[in-house]
Structure 1
Amino acid sequence: MLGGIACRQIGGIRLPIWGMMLAGAGAVLICGSITPTEALHAVNIEIIIFLFSVFLIGSAMEESGYLGYLARIIFSRAETPGQLISLFILTMGGFSALLMNDTLAIVGTPIALALARTCEIPDRIFLLALAGAITTGSIISPIGNPQNLLIAIGSGMENPFLTFIAVLFIPTALSGLILYGIIRRMTPSLPAVLPPVLPEAGIRDQKLARLCRLSLGIFIGLIILRIICIATGHPPMFTLQTIAAIAAAPILLSPHRFAIMRSVDYRTLLFFVGLFILMEAVWIGGTFPGLIPQNLIHSIPWLIGGGILISQIISNVPFVALIIPSLMEAGSSEIIFLALAAGSTIGGNLTILGAASNVIIIQNAERRGATITFIEFLRFGIPVTILQAAVFIGWFALIA
């Protein structure tokens, strides 16, 4: 989610990134680079519906206290601070694959700070663990982050869930171990005894929490049904956006709907509307395709390395949106698209600006009296990103 994240100074006016994207879309419309009809068709309504539905479920889980309740149940199983750190990375990475990493950046920050203060270790340890976990964990799922969703839908993958898991599970698991190892090396001496974990976390609204459980059950159940249908040679009953919309229906039909809908981050949805229009105008203008070295379009090291580096400049979502048409024109295989997903995602571990979720974590942490400096993040991000990139490049060389 991009609401409230880093702003840029333009002509003395500070604009958030979502505002810049809308301003760019408006500029290309005014200049005639794209017609209103082309702009309307450029907006991928499937992704907008999916994002809105997932954000709605995530907001309901946070508002009801259900997510904090689940966190207390899960993390109370840890017996030592070391186990707590490993369980935290595994849990946040797993949840990000289901609810999208930007959602976990918002709801996971207070949990990370509470756990850090429980263990009496620096806040930055759990904040860095959260940033790395939700970025790394999101790689494995077509709905783990916005760029993966763009790739899954834009490439026309027949069964994106099985495809992502089958190809990316092993390198993602190894990347998680790398993350854990680096976090532990950064962690000062830990207390021998682990105090009670999240003792105050509990459900604040029982009715809304029941709806959250229902929505999550529907969401997971329909995804499994879709996977089974495709695996057995039957046409899938529901598209991804339909699954998300059906899962969000219990919350939309409840008396809580207006309060929950107000808490949805519509700025992120506006960011994507502007993104689709602006990227379509760039593509129509023929500027970006000419900059892509065609001899490297199927180079996995270039896609992973380029994804990491370019994500620091224009962010991973615009980069993926720009390069997908070139890959489609070149008739790229699913492996190439998965390499793009991996590179553009792990780029978020390099610097704070590599992923919107990093900025969300820091801004949420600052409101609670904690922060991570750019240098602190870089010291963490350089070894994590280099080692993870090596894992993915080696893995794709092995299976390609």
Structure 2
Amino acid sequence: MDLTLAIFALVYVAMGVGHLPGFRLDRTGAAIVGAMVLIASGQISPAAAWAAVDYRVIGLLFGLMTVSAAFVVAGFYDLVAVKVGNLNVGPKGLLAILIAVSGAMAALLNKDVVAVAMTPIFCSICVERRLNPLPFLLGFCFAANFAAAATILGSPQNMIIAETLQLSFVDFMAAAAPPAMLGLPLIWIVIVLCYRGRWTLPNAVRPSGAGATITDTPVAFNRGETIKTCVVTLAVVVAFIFSDLPHMLIALMGASVLLVSRRFASSNLLHHVNGDLLLLLFGLFVVNAALTATGLPEQVLAGLRTIGLNLHDPPSMLIIMAVLSNIVGNNPAVMLVAPFIGGTHQPEALGAAIALGTGFSSSAVIFGSLVAIIVAEECRKRGIPLSFAEFARAGLPISILCLLMAAAWIYHLG
């Protein structure tokens, strides 16, 4: 038990910090190494380790990431970014449009893939238009995180929630979408207040640093491949709603159709699938299963119940996820609680609490989500100053307001 607990602690330190302190071992590496050490040391058997991996989540995530990646290689994301960025509107109007577009795409596609594809283009367009990139990038980031909580398609943690609680596409959306969408105008209001008088770059100021000269050439738009991907995506969503087939099989069938193409090599498409995330989930499934076998989680849960926090109680879960996801990250936080939430009497409210707790709290700190990390890294490469304080200046009040709204909504569901 001591070895299992030590490895678990080290793995989740890496989840929170981004790497194992003192080593060049990132989150994915830490999860995989932790799983391998636990298996090799006999803390969990190979058979138990394989059984711990939820193939439904892995298959669903792979299939939907492949669908989203098809939009990348077709140039769709870059086309949308360029069209939105070049609209002849004022800064406040541009921010409103950017929030709406980011939210819609994150809810229907994988938010992390959307962020990777579109953030560099938005950075370049803002600098070219002499606009301060920060309010627009923060609006893009916050909207992607909030709106992604609305559907199963939006993020990996939503897929884990839906599979664990056996929620249908419609049930999940009905429970989580209303507050997720209501959060978007709040983002606009808070950012407009925070950045009044700071919408443009002074003529004498240009982003500094080695990365400031980066230019991004959009991927060439392919109309035929985009139409094909749109048809497949629509078919997947329709099948999610009206078919009794498992979500994983629907997503994998959609991915199979898109991988067979006369225009693009399958390797090009698979290059944009986040294999690191799949390996991260593999490792965490094993590490979490090994800890569960020690009986320690049950003792912790009993302690939480004594102070009024119950994992089957939606308001309690909203609080737990809001705090936990900002310590270890969204996906690891959901995977920690997933083994203990089955059999609840109110799966819709509990699912909404988890999705909204992780989604709304992601704007509080700069490492609260992968989307925020992507935005921060693009700013760093271009010499655009995005500090922890600058991020939290707008993000923290938005998170607090939306979490309060989520609490009221979950009370209504209950």
The two structures have a TM-score, normalised by structure 2, of 0.83
User: Is residue 216 of structure 1 aligned with residue 199 of structure 2?
Assistant: no
User: Is residue 311 of structure 1 aligned with residue 325 of structure 2?
Assistant: yes
1:72 Cα shift?
3.7
1:205 Cα shift?
5.5
Match of 2:249 in 1: 242
Alignment of 1:1-400 (within 5 A): 7-10=18-21, 12-73=22-83, 79-157=89-167, 159=168, 161-189=169-197, 190=199, 204=220, 206=222, 209-227=223-241, 229=242, 236-254=243-261, 255-292=264-301, 293-294=304-305, 295-297=308-310, 298-329=312-343, 331-400=345-414
Equivalent residues of 1:39, 1:280 under 8 A apart: yes
1:386 Cα shift?
0.7
Paired residues, what number?
377
1:78 Cα shift?
5.8
CA distance in 2, matches of 1:135, 1:239: 26
CA distance in 2, matches of 1:289, 1:101: 33
CA distance in 2, matches of 1:110, 1:317: 24
Identity %: 23
Structure 2 letter corresponding to 1:262 = H
Gaps of 5+ in 2: 1-15, 201-215
CA distance in 2, matches of 1:339, 1:310: 13
More deviation, 22-31/50-59: 50-59
CA distance in 2, matches of 1:322, 1:19: 18
Structure 2 residue matching 1:350: 3-state secondary structure:
coil
Gaps of 5+ in 1: 192-199, 230-235
1:66 Cα shift?
2.1
More deviation, 386-395/32-41: 32-41
Match of 2:3 in 1: none
Equivalent residues of 1:150, 1:321 under 8 A apart: yes
Structure 1 residue matching 2:252: 3-state secondary structure:
helix
Alpha carbons of structure 1 residues 334 and 106: separation in structure 2 relative to 1, 3 Å = same
More deviation, 70-79/102-111: 70-79
Query: Over residues 210-269 of structure 1, what are the superposed CA-to-partner deviations in whole Å (9 max), with x where a residue is unaligned?
Result: 223312321222312431x3xxxxxx2533222222222343112521222234331111
Structure 2 letter corresponding to 1:101 = K
Equivalent residues of 1:61, 1:67 under 8 A apart: yes
Alpha carbons of structure 1 residues 289 and 211: separation in structure 2 relative to 1, 3 Å = farther
CA distance in 2, matches of 1:245, 1:215: 14
More deviation, 28-37/148-157: 28-37
1:176 Cα shift?
1.1
Structure 1 residue matching 2:154: 3-state secondary structure:
coil
Structure 2 letter corresponding to 1:63 = V
Structure 1 letter corresponding to 2:321 = G
Structure 1 letter corresponding to 2:100 = L
Match of 1:194 in 2: none
1:8 Cα shift?
2.2
CA distance in 2, matches of 1:138, 1:120: 30
1:317 Cα shift?
1.5
Query: Over residues 49-80 of structure 1, what are the superposed CA-to-partner deviations in whole Å (9 max), with x where a residue is unaligned?
Result: 22223333333322332221133445656633
CA distance in 2, matches of 1:246, 1:78: 41
CA distance in 2, matches of 1:185, 1:135: 20
Alpha carbons of structure 1 residues 369 and 55: separation in structure 2 relative to 1, 3 Å = farther
Equivalent residues of 2:73, 2:219 under 8 A apart: no
CA distance in 2, matches of 1:78, 1:281: 56
Match of 1:196 in 2: none
CA distance in 2, matches of 1:253, 1:214: 11
RMSD: 2.5
The two structures have a TM-score, normalised by structure 1, of 0.86
